[in-house]
A and B are shown apart, each in its own frame.
Chain A
């Protein structure tokens, strides 16, 4: 029924979509790992990046690479600010308060973007170098399709190194285990959490830029769906686990594409499948496929 080249095309599409989910999911999972907080504003942080990059290029006429780097830095700063303003004051409050605060932050960013940038969608600038398609047989693949997974893997390796082999990473792990004890042991808890947010947001920023390049349309509510999908990816992989988030991202991306590929008549229900998948995972394997036991704090 489906020939090999069509299948390969679907696979390439799936890997490319999956690596985008993975990039955003890492940020979700990092924050959950340290604070046990599902940062609902993560998708909106991701949206802000695309606007930063957009204005960098279109208004300040910066070369694309400068604009992208600036956007990543600004987004990291935004992540830190968010933590400081919306989450830090509630750190010792019940978990539900901080989660509600996260939803509030999400609304704030969405509406702020609508007011400042306007509700009409804008075209994300394209980078010629990455846009051309390469043909392999009858499979047509954009260069960007190769770049996205490579970027994801490079950042994953860098992040794992940082977390497992540096002092900052050690502090992050200590805070994740038990921030009160870590504080007593001399770890600067506030700074470590700030760094976690900066790092998580920077990764969302990279994801946002890649997303903008692949789907060159930006709007104030564009972060909602990718944010939810990345959340699903993080849960599939086992929330709190960075490698799991990447695996989850790939599973979700490839799965979504393959559902449409094999059942074309169900293509309108693609998002529904992602959410059904999430519910199934939560019911039968809430620790995700990596299956690590999460030490519950009481």
Chain B
């Protein structure tokens, strides 16, 4: 019988190889330009276009392309977008970023949706000295100790506080259960900041009555949810990827869990509602921007252009942020009067009160934008605006 065992073990190993193997194929750029000569400025776009986070990446790319259409030139040179797919995979994200800096020799980079994916590129852009602007990656570690990483959105300590306040003040929650995506730095970080804030608000060290974990790509959450149900929480906080979250909420409702389920900015994708359907009705989450409350003249411009290109549709917050990431880079290039990456970085760091589509952008010492948060709810199958929470500053 040893023979059977050895055949099966080798089959298993080959299978495992096959799984990891499919994560290391090289990403193909969607547009390959001239060899980076003096006539074009290349901005690398580094986003998940396939895999678990694909919908989020697509929304950001939508915004970046829109900005590129509106502002196709800077310093008299054409701006070319070089898009690479990081496949929603951390290993893949690192190689996609390397490709942008080494092979495509881009002047700046935008991306990525998802903090884990952005963090995977952190050291690469830092060592290559290529300024990178994340649109919606909210984990503090993305920009920490990295002079070349900026972001045009707020960070999770703020977002966690916003949602903890919402649960405590608006939902009168005393006991919250948490479901987190353990393989996702964003989810873990946000869950932690939420926990800290919520414990502080209630003054109760046991205010979190249960923590359940799942992995990216999981589809069955029944066991975790059954456990949480037995703990009788008032609210469930479930930050995580949109598809998993939608399935999770659906299964929670099927198991007879009736308490509110709240989350973070990653939920705002059409797929969340498509997959969750009736089950996600009433779900509340925090995000960056709402088209119902334009903040700056740039918001108006962005909205007008977006609605012209997509009749009957409203932009997601991350689309506005993708747009902002592009225009803030262009502004820095203009001020630097050069497309040299290090000079762009110097100007980016000085960005102050720059009007973006999703609000004014001022980078703090870490390269993070300080912004207000928007609370949205799923109502009649649409994301609708509920409230704005001012930033601390």
Residues of A within 8 A of B (CB): 2-3, 6, 9-10, 13-14, 16-17, 38, 40, 95, 99-100, 103, 106-107, 110, 114, 118-123, 126, 133, 135, 138, 140, 142, 211, 215-217, 219-222, 224-225, 228, 231, 235, 239, 256-261, 264-265, 267-268, 270-271, 278-279, 282-283, 286-287, 293-294, 296
- List 10 contacting pairs A-B, 8 Å CB cutoff, sorted by A: A40-B15, A119-B85, A219-B243, A224-B22, A256-B220, A260-B212, A268-B182, A270-B215, A278-B12, A287-B1
Where chain B touches its partner, the secondary structure class is helix
- Measured in the bound complex, the distance between the Cα atoms of B280 and A217 in whole Å is 14
Bound together, the chains give a CA A222 to CA B244 distance in angstroms of: 12
Is B223's CB under 8 angstroms from A114's CB? no
CB distance from B245 to the nearest CB of A (A): 11
Which chain A residues border B271 with CB–CB below 8 Å? 120-123, 217
When the two chains form the complex, which single residue of B5, B217, B220, B277 contacts A123, counting CB atoms closer than 8 Å?
Answer: B277
Task: Decide yes or no: A3 and B58 within 8 Å by CB, A17-B222, A228-B15 being known contacts.
Answer: no
The 0/1 profile, CB within 8 Å of A marked 1, for residues 203-217 of chain B is 000000011111101
- Identify whether the interface residues of A are mostly helix, strand, loop, or mixed: helix
**In the complex, which residues 21-69 of chain B have their Cβ closer than 8 Å to any Cβ of chain A?**
21-22, 49-52, 54-55, 58
Q: Contact: B8 with A282, CB < 8 Å?
A: yes
List 17 other contacts, CB 8 Å, given A13-B223, A119-B50.
A103-B14, A107-B18, A107-B21, A118-B54, A120-B271, A121-B55, A121-B271, A123-B277, A126-B277, A140-B254, A217-B219, A219-B52, A220-B50, A222-B219, A224-B19, A260-B212, A294-B4
- Please tell me if B227 contacts chain A, counting CB pairs below 8 Å: yes
A13 to B227, CA, bound (A): 12
Whether a CB of chain A sits under 8 angstroms from the CB of B70 is no
Residues of A with C-beta under 8 A to B55: 120-121
B161 CB–A CB distance under 8 Å: no
Quick check: A216 and B275 within 8 Å, CB to CB? yes
Q: Give the nearest-CB partner of A261 in chain B.
A: B223
Q: Is B76 part of the binding interface, using a Cβ–Cβ cutoff of 8 Å?
A: no
Q: With A142-B254, A217-B243, A278-B12 in contact, is A122–B277 under 8 Å at CB?
A: no
- Known contacts A2-B230, A133-B256, A135-B256; A216/B5 CB under 8 A: no
Q: A217-B275, A260-B223 are in contact. Are A6 and B5 (CB under 8 A)?
A: no
Q: Would you give the shortest CB distance from A3 to chain B, in whole angstroms?
A: 7
4 shortest interchain CB distances as A-B pairs = A119-B50, A268-B213, A260-B223, A140-B256
Given contacts A120-B55, A231-B15, A267-B214, contact A257 B274 (CB under 8 A): no
Q: Do A138 and B256 touch across chains, with their CB atoms under 8 A apart?
A: yes
Tell me the bound Cα distance from A130 to B11 in angstroms: 37
Chain A nearest CB, measured from B195 CB (Å): 15
Closest residue of B by beta carbon distance from A266: B213
Partner of B224, one of A3, A100, A260: A260
Contact residues in A for B52 (Cβ distance below 8 Å): 121, 219
Closest to B273 in A: A123
Interface string of B258-280 (1 = CB under 8 A from A): 00000000000001001101000
Partner of B275, one of A95, A121, A133, A225: A121
B298 nearest CB across to chain A (Å): 28
**Residues of A contacting B3 with CB < 8 Å?**
296
Measured in the bound complex, the distance between the Cα atoms of B54 and A215 in whole Å is 18
B54 x A120 contact (CB < 8 A) = yes
State the Cβ distance, A91 to closest chain B Cβ, in Å.
17
Instruction: With A217-B243, A267-B212, A286-B1 as known contacts, state yes or no: A119 contacts B54, CB within 8 Å.
Output: yes
**Closest residue of A by beta carbon distance from B85:** A119
Residues of A contacting B247 in the complex (Cβ-Cβ under 8 angstroms): 215-217
- Report how far A216 CA is from B52 CA in the complex, Å: 14
Report A-chain residues with C-beta under 8 Å of the C-beta of B9: 282
B256 touches A215 (CB 8 A): no
* Alpha-carbon distance A108/B244, docked complex (angstroms): 26
- In the complex, B162 has a CB within 8 A of chain A: no
A38 touches B11 (CB 8 A): yes
Q: Are A13 and B8 in contact (CB-based, < 8 A)? A: no
Q: Are A217 and B246 in contact (CB under 8 A)?
A: yes
Closest to A119 in B: B50
CA distance A219 to B230 in the complex (A): 32
Q: In whole angstroms, what is the CA distance A10 to B310 when docked?
A: 45
Confirm or deny: B391 has a beta carbon within 8 angstroms of a beta carbon on chain A. Answer: no
User: Which residue of the partner chain, among A103, A107, A261, contacts B226 with CB atoms under 8 Å?
Assistant: A261
- Report whether B1 and A264 are in contact in the complex, using a CB–CB cutoff of 8 Å: no
| C-alpha gap A211/B220 in the complex (Å) | 10
Q: Would you call A286 and B4 a contact (CB within 8 A)?
A: yes
B11 & A99 in contact (Cβ 8 Å cutoff): yes
Residues on the A chain within 8 Å of B15, using CB: 38, 40, 103, 228, 231
Contact of A9 among B11, B50, B226, B250 (CB under 8 A): B226
- Shortest Cβ gap from A53 to chain B (Å): 16
A284 nearest CB neighbor, chain B only: B5
A25 to chain B minimum Cβ distance, whole angstroms, is 14
Given contacts A217-B243, A256-B223, A264-B227, contact A121 B1 (CB under 8 A): no
With A225-B217, A268-B215 already in contact, the answer to whether A286 and B5 are too (CB < 8 A) is yes
Inter-chain contact A264/B210, CB cutoff 8 Å: yes
Check if A6 sits within 8 Å of B1, measured CB to CB.
no
CB distance from A86 to the nearest CB of B (A): 14
Contacts of B50 in A (CB 8 A): 114, 119, 220
B229 at interface by CB-CB < 8 Å: yes
Instruction: Tell whether B255 is near chain A: CB-to-CB under 8 Å.
Output: yes
Contacts of A294 on B, CB cut-off 8 Å? Answer: 4
| Chain A residue contacts of B218, Cβ below 8 A | 270-271
Nearest to A14 among chain B residues (CB) is B223
Do A257 and B277 touch (CB < 8 A)? no
Q: Which residue of B lies closest to A287 (CB)?
A: B1
- Asked whether, in the complex, the Cβ of B230 is within 8 Å of the Cβ of A3, the reply is yes
CB <8 Å contact, B4 and A119: no
Identify the closest chain B residue to A226 (Cβ).
B219
Tell me the complex Cα distance, A197–B98, Å: 43
Residues in B whose Cβ lies below 8 Å from that of A122: 271, 274
